[in-house]
Amino acid sequence: MIVREALNENMGYRDFLGREISHNEALQKRIRDLIVGVVVEERGISEKSFSLYDSVINEVKEICDKHPDIYTEAEKYYEKNKRLNLLAEEVYQKYFI
C-alpha cells in the first residue's frame, strides 16, 4: 500500500495551534503514553484520579529521560512495523516491577 508506506515514514504533524511536531517528538510522546497506559492499568488507577494519573505521567517521563535507549528502541520498533504496545510492556517489566 502506497498510503500506508507514506504514513509509516513519518509520525510528524502540525498541532491545532500550528506548531510543527517532529517525528521524534511524536514517537517519544506515543511510547510514553503507551507506557503510562500500562502502568495505570497495572496499578488500577482511575483516569478520574488526576493527581495519581499525573504522578504516573511524571514518573514515566523521568524514566524515559533517564533511559534514552527506550526512545531508540521505539524508533527501531517503528521502522520494523512492530507494535509499540509490545515495547511499552517490556519497559514496564524492566523499569516498573
* Residue 2 reports pLDDT greater than 80: no
pTM score, whole prediction: 0.86
Instruction: Kindly list the distances between the CA atom of residue 51 and the CA atoms of 45, 55, 74, in Å, as whole numbers in the listed order.
Output: 10, 6, 27
Q: Would you state the cell numbers that stand for residue 46, as one nine-digit string?
A: 482511575
Mean pLDDT, residues 13-31 taken together: 90
* pLDDT reported for residue 45: 95
- pLDDT per residue as tens digits for the range 24-80: 999 999 999 999 999 999 999 998 999 999 999 999 999 999 999 999 999 999 999
Cα separation, 34 vs 6, in Å, equals 23
pLDDT at 5: 40
CA–CA dist 95, 65 (Å, integer) = 13
Under a CB-based contact definition with an 8 Å cutoff, are residues 77 and 84 in contact?
yes
> What is the domain partition of the chain in residue ranges?
2-95
